[in-house]
Chain A
Amino acid sequence: QQQVKQSPQSLIVQKGGIPIINCAYENTAFDYFPWYQQFPGKGPALLIAIRPDVSEKKEGRFTISFNKSAKQFSLHIMDSQPGDSATYFCAAPDSSYKLIFGSGTRLLVRP
């Protein structure tokens, strides 16, 4: 079964900082790597996703960097805001139906 290792477990940055969250995966059979954002009391919601035919994808202040040879991908949040404080999950597919989620990173952005 696919393993997805996510780090760090928690992260505190000042407003305007650039938090970086990293993920490593094992199974290279599939081509979809999403990041989900979860606010307290809510369900996870898709933030941004990448296919490994590109090395980077940017949507607003959120960027995914993808290193296919190293089987790693990371999330960068530019100009972070207190409203970005949430738990972030990376995920990788283990089959055409199944996503395996990383252990989550709790991000706190201080004002």
Chain B
Amino acid sequence: DTAVSQTPKYLVTQMGNDKSIKCEQNLGHDTMYWYKQDSKKFLKIMFSYNNKELIINETVPNRFSPKSPDKAHLNLHINSLELGDSAVYFCASRRTSGGANEQFFGPGTRLTVL
């Protein structure tokens, strides 16, 4: 199936730990995103990569570090996890050529920090 996939789907961890979330898209898109959705459903962009280059870096604590090894993958590493990091993290991708605007979202990773 063509899609945006994320692993893991659920992540429960203790405060202070370091964790990573992985995202892969097989849609042939050149731009990928990380979003954070809080408990009130507010969807906020965190980072975006275009062809492995960081193009959007919102006001996010530097404990969050994205990495894009290639156009199809975008990972998110979080150091020293805090309670406030608990949220659902969504990866999305988009093809920027040809005037395409639709962003395709993954199923989300629910992070719970205890």
Q: A-side interface residues toward B, CB under 8 Å? A: 32, 34, 38, 41-46, 49, 87, 89, 93, 95-101, 103-104, 106
Q: Assuming A34-B101, A42-B108, is B48 touching A103 (CB within 8 A)?
A: no
Q: How far is the CA of A18 from the CA of B90 in the complex (A)?
A: 30
Chain A neighbourhood of B40, CB < 8 A? 103-104
Question: In whole Å, how far is B26's beta carbon from the nearest beta carbon of chain A?
Answer: 16
| Secondary structure type dominating chain B contacts | strand
Q: Contact at A46–B103, with CB atoms within 8 Å?
A: yes
Chain A neighbourhood of B48, CB < 8 A? 97-98
Question: In whole Å, how far is B105's beta carbon from the nearest beta carbon of chain A?
Answer: 3
- Tally of contacts, chain A with chain B, CB under 8 A: 53
Does chain A have a CB within 8 A of B56? yes
Question: In whole Å, how far is B36's beta carbon from the nearest beta carbon of chain A?
Answer: 11
Chain A neighbourhood of B104, CB < 8 A? 45-46
Q: Contact at A99–B41, with CB atoms within 8 Å?
A: no
Q: How far is the CA of A106 from the CA of B4 in the complex (A)?
A: 24
Q: Contact at B43–A89, with CB atoms within 8 Å?
A: yes
Does chain A have a CB within 8 A of B50? yes
Q: How far is the CA of A8 from the CA of B107 in the complex (A)?
A: 25
